[in-house]
Amino acid sequence: MDSLGYTINMSECIDISKLKRNTKIIVETESTVLEITVVGPKSLAVSVHGGLKFIRPTKCKISKEIKRGKSIAFVYQDKGKTEKISTTKVVSASVFSPDNSWSYEAIEKKEQ
């Protein structure tokens, strides 16, 4: 419970700043699947790969949290220009340890 009295369901949210470097997150949105690798947890730096925009792994800054039903915002450099892009809503996400020794479904896909 936080200072305002709200309880946060951790199965609905992934806090990037609390993950270790090289942790992988596979995120399914309404329109695509992305592979996100944490590069700098405190600075929210990631490498993202997937979808139509990130054909090759791309270094980005990411919004602090990944939440079910919310979009993910990415900021990255393209040909010297700062670009911003947001995904469609998050449907599910799985987290994989840096050495692949464990994984878990952080945001489970809801049954229709």
Region 92-103 average pLDDT: 96
Neighbours of 109 (CB within 10 A): 11
Burial of residue 49, with CB atoms counted within 10 A of its CB: 0-12 exposed, 13-18 middle, 19 or more buried = middle
pTM, 2 dp: 0.86
The pair of three-digit structure tokens given for residue 28, joined into one six-digit string: 């399914």
C-alpha–C-alpha distance, residues 82 and 92, integer Å: 28
Dump pLDDT digits (tens) for 26-48. 999 999 999 999 999 999 999 99
pLDDT over 80 (residue 71):
yes
Determine the pLDDT at residue 1: 41
Largest CA distance in the chain: 45
C-alpha–C-alpha distance, residues 74 and 26, integer Å: 15
Q: How confident is the model at residue 110 (pLDDT cuts 50, 70, 90)?
A: confident
* Domain residue ranges of the chain, discontinuous segments joined by +: 10-98
Determine the pLDDT at residue 11: 55
C-alpha–C-alpha distance, residues 66 and 24, integer Å: 13
